[in-house]
Amino acid sequence: MFIFTILYLMTTEKYHFIPVIMTIGVLQKESILFLSPVVFVHYMQTRGGVRKKSLFYFSLLLLFPTVTLFLTRSAIEVHNSYNAIGDLQGIFVYQVTNGTFWQNFIFEIFSGLGLLPLILLYRMGDGWKFLRNNLHWLVLTVLGIILLFCGADKARLFLYILPAVIVVTTKIIEPIVSPPRIHALLWITLSLILHYYLGYHFSPMDAYMEFFYRMIPVHASGPLLPNFIRIGVVLLIWIGLTACLRPFGHRTNTPYSPESS
């Protein structure tokens, strides 16, 4: 909720509320601080670049949440030796060095993001042009990729990269629905059905372990081959639909204006 609120205030340029929201947010989730450079870059883009005012605003984004977090931790008596930073470092090392993790991680991507990564790859040129013209989303994408390796379940894995993925995908699709075309709308409808199918939204789950296996695949211990076959079939169907319906027509990648989004 805090992440959504901060990004909404950023895109609507209600900057004066963000330091307050961020200060409250770090008490619930310390990683909210990672949004500071995202907001700062957007602020610079809308306020004419790096100036004293923008640097002062960036200092507010960092200072208030950091001081609040430090004072709160100082006021709490420690009863164990738990270290969040050390724990995250341990998770990161385990994930990047464990072969089983990477197999589950591929499964996790399609379970968590559905067809969105495929659409981004299909129209990579359009996506990259949008990110170049809207650097705040590029910064969030980079931070989101880094934070993919600092969590142990789907919600944490995609918490920061998901907003950027949704925005870029929406911008890619936007030209084919304005004006609307029948074959483009049909492609979007069928893509959404396949997208939700990949996320198991049409499949009942009778047991907790089945839910655990489907929705948090990084912890899955069962055979992954059936799921990879399922993913492969869905991707082949989507590629076939895209080739037949040609939702983007024959035009090449179109540039995007550097509008604030």
Please answer whether residues 130 and 171 qualify as being in contact, where contact means their C-beta atoms are separated by less than 8 angstroms: yes
Separation between Cα atoms, residue 103 and residue 105, nearest integer Å: 5
- Report the percentage of the chain scoring pLDDT > 70: 82
**Do 159 and 3 touch, CB atoms closer than 8 A?**
yes
Task: Please report, in angstroms and rounded to a whole number, the separation of the first and last CA atoms in the chain.
Answer: 19
- For the chain, the average pLDDT equals 82
Mean pLDDT of the 98-111 span: 77
* 207: exposed, middle or buried (Cβ count in 10 Å: 0-12, 13-18, 19+): exposed
pLDDT at 147: 79
In angstroms, the CA 79 to CA 245 distance is 61
Q: What is the pTM (predicted TM-score) of this model?
A: 0.81
Q: Which of 213, 218, 112 is nearest to 160 (CA)?
A: 112
Expressed in percent and rounded to 5, the helix, strand and coil fractions of the chain are 75, 0, 25
In DSSP terms, 177 is beta-bridged to 180
Does the pLDDT of residue 187 top 80, yes or no?
A: yes
d(CA 31, CA 38): 13
Q: Is 48 left (phi over 0), alpha (psi -120 to 50) or beta?
A: left
| pLDDT in the model for residue 160 | 86
Over range 153-174, report the average pLDDT: 83
pLDDT digits over 72-89, tens only? 888 877 766 666 666 667
Using CB atoms within 10 Å of the CB of residue 231, give its burial: 0 to 12 exposed, 13 to 18 middle, 19+ buried: middle
pLDDT at 256 over 50: no
pLDDT of residue 119: 93
Is the preceding peptide bond at 223 cis, omega within 30 degrees of 0?
Answer: no
**What is the arithmetic mean of pLDDT over 169-191?**
88
- Can you say how many angstroms the Cα of residue 9 is from the centroid of all Cα atoms in its chain? 18
